[in-house]
Structure 1
Amino acid sequence: MEKPKFKFEDLKVYQKALDFVDYVYVTTNKFPKEEVYGLSSQYKRTSMSIPLNIAEGAGDTDAQFNRYLQMAWDSVKECVVCSSIAKRQGFIRPEEDNEARVKLSEMAKMITSLKKYLRKNN
């Protein structure tokens, strides 16, 4: 039997968001154990919020999808802060912070482009 597939799973920004969640899990596994319920948990939650909001809004009206994309974009900004804090606290190297920022910047651009496309079609 073929695995059921949802339309939002074909969105490139959704796939990038899932990849970023994987990146965050690998990165936060190196954080100190006392951060399990602190920055590590927050970084994971906010990174997961990106694909969750994309999935939740997809398939709804364009206006609703745009609203969920805005929430995903807000989570991208929150991830930037989490990465900055992790770098400042010495949990990650500057190169890792930069890698996260590159990934987040790409997602932010994709989300913004999708939002503009949806607004244009209304």
Structure 2
Amino acid sequence: MENQNRPVSFFRFEDLRVYHKSLDYFNWIIEQVKSNNPYEHKLILEPLANAAIKISVNIAEGSSRHKLQFVNFLKDAKTAVRECVVLSSMAFKSGAFTDQQYEQSKETLVEMTKMLGAMIVSLQRSTNREEADIEQKQDFNNVGEVDFEY
């Protein structure tokens, strides 16, 4: 694995593969933008680049929050991925993307969706386990207390 020798980053999100994948996707979009048509550029390609930025920003911003908040930011990142899917389809239909560019875009977006989904599930499971542990500790602390009815 290429990341084994890399030190742990000060910013946790920089250690996430999905974050780097989102940066790569943004850079890929910028490389693809060769349209001289101002309408394609303004209506499709700029919004596509902006949606790609939202993916990275939501991952970064959410990583500094509590788990449940991070899950919400990851869900927002998935929403931005879906926005990119729509805009990629529009770019293809309008001729701004070739068939190959469209397929590459879609493949990357599917991969990011899976990565984000796996993170969401993992964080939700760990949050549920932590809540169950807290409830169990509270129940344990209440052992021996008896409620009397008069």
TM-score (normalised: structure 1) = 0.92
Equivalent residue, structure 2, for 1:116 = 121
Q: Give the AA of the match of 1:18.
A: L
Conservation of the 8 A alpha-carbon contact between 1:8 and 1:14? yes
The answer on whether the counterparts of 1:32 and 1:91 sit within 8 Å (CA) in structure 2 is no
Please name the residue that 2:132 is paired with: none
Structure with bigger RCO (C-alpha 8 Å, 6+ apart): 1
Tell me which residue corresponds to 1:30: 34
2:94 is aligned to 89
Q: How far apart, CA to CA, are the structure 1 residues paired with 2:42 and 2:92?
A: 18
Pairwise CA distance, 1:5: 3.6
| Structure 2 residue aligned with 1:72 | 77
Counterpart of 2:49 (choices 44, 49, 57) is 44
Structure with max Cα Rg: 2
CA distance in 2, matches of 1:41, 1:106: 22
RMSD of the alignment, in Å? 1.2
SS at match of 1:32: coil
TM-score normalised by length of structure 2:
0.75
Distance 1:119 1:5 in 2: 24
Which stretches of structure 1, 4 residues or more, deviate above 2 A after TM superposition? Answer: none
Q: Paired residue for 1:16, among 3, 21, 24?
A: 21
Amino acid at match of 2:35: F
